[in-house]
Structure 1
Amino acid sequence: MSSSTSPLEVSTSSLASFTPTRILSETTSTGSIYVLGTLHDLPTIIHLQKTVLESEKVGEVLRGLERLNVFLENQPYFSTHAWLKPTPDRSPDLQIKIICPASETHIKKYSQQERWMVVETPEVYERVVLGYIDGFDESRLGWVYAILDGKKEADRILYRKQGEDGFVILPDLKWDQTSMNALYLTVLVQTRSIRSLRDLTPSHIPLLNSIKQAVYTTVKEKFGVGSNKLRLFVHYQPSYYHFHVHVVHIEAEPASGMLVGQAHMLDDLITLLELSPSSGPSILAQKTYTYPLGAEHGLFEGMKAVGAITFD
């Protein structure tokens, strides 16, 4: 959201005025749904997701049931819908995320869409991807810069290292912070010179190692989770072109962003940089990447035009 836009009020009354227009996508296994509509006369995406149940509160939840509707009874199997008694101190039932105003890029990103495998050679990167990144609207990174500059979400920062080689660690919006098994953090680097993993060189090895060690120490101190329970990875293509690292508990339910093709383990990137020549393009810059790309992605038509996507 640009600085000229008036702050959005988020309350039960404001959300009640949301007018849905269509479902963008939904996942029944996780109780997640993205809905496009209008809020305060602005295009808005609302993401509703059932929160993860804390294991130690199972007994409390069962004692707090208000009503059951048994719709399958075939001993030994039973299925029922349940309603909880509304109590102010119990865990929330829903996690709600709001994107307002939602851009056309946001709408495409969260819409259900067909995906195709792309083969991106260094030549394809130069011909298609680099121009796309150069044309990326920097205003879309305003929320990142606000975090790095300490203007937003300062109370959510778990770790901050100042300087050009600095970075911050904070909870990702995908984590409701109720279940350690669903732990999801994001590391944002301070420098604006690294837009994707293709920009990494051997000179960045100290930065990446510093991120890894800070994540391990911070997660252990704050949440009691050991380094052997964490996945640290980088997306390619990323959702936004400011280098960041994803930190996810190994028991978290795999999402599309954790699958082969898009997720690249941080340790693997460090190893490839260690094997790269000290001068000239790194292995990461010279490498061919194969990854899934949605038909609504801004790169799709360019990739199709240069034959990076094949249609059998």
Structure 2
Amino acid sequence: MIDINAVITGMEDMLRRTLGESIDIEIVLADGLWSTEIDLAQVEAALLNLTINSRDAMSDGGSLTIETANVALDEDYVSTEPELNAGQYVAIVVSDTGHGISKDHMAHVFEPFFTTKSVDTGTGLGLSMVYGFVKQTGGHVRIYSEQNDGTTVKLYFPRYFGDHAAHSVTLDDISLQRGQETILVVEDDALILQQLTAQLTGLGYEVLAASAGTPALDILRARSDIDLLLTDVVLPGGMNGRQIAEAAQLIHPGLKVLYTSGYSENAIFHHGRLDKDVNFLGKPYRRSELAAKVRQVLES
């Protein structure tokens, strides 16, 4: 069971750091918000996706509002929405004052790989991933936008009616361990790299980023103050994560390394990609798990 208000409050500092000072953020949390039974890591990723989209739509600055609400959808409403049941939902609403979306593009915004961004600033997977996650919960997504007049995205998650004391997520549950060290992140997926950079920056770290081995090693040669290498295991460009780590430790002997991968830990070890005594964090992970693992490796 998830308390959405607690999740948003726990992410607030990271979101403010990620969006920057040119964007005014207002967070309005409903009193008496119902609980919902969804995955914490996925709802955090969805909210980060939406706010990054808003930031990119407000290149000259603007305003972002994040709201929560209890919503009852009646039969009249759901009659026009396939695969949606009437009932009670917990809503997250993200609104921006950005450039908006044209009517021609509105019909395609949830399609995989569709993007209005340039090739180097968007993968086109953000909204489709958010849509897929919400629909898997039995929820619903609505998007409203007008060109030059901003965009609002509403996520509806089914209300949880079970034992409200069981498995609840509170602010104490998602308290985060922070630091000020310098971390080099190597990740070839642009969306994941953007999210991971935002998460670590929000935890107080200085973050350097590379998408492959060669640029990562160039950064290591240029910087003597890197405390941790956080690298994906499977990477393009001729060097995998272990090879990058081995080369990095020749440049900076004793450099601490944390591996991450979408493959399971058992698969990574079974396939011989890593030895069993390395530091490993499997994707997807909660921000609290990332924060704790980074501190554990840095302090080891």
Task: Specify if TM > 0.5.
Answer: no
TM-score (norm 2): 0.25
Query: Of Structure 1 and Structure 2, which has the larger fraction of its residues in strand?
Result: 1
Larger-Rg structure: 1
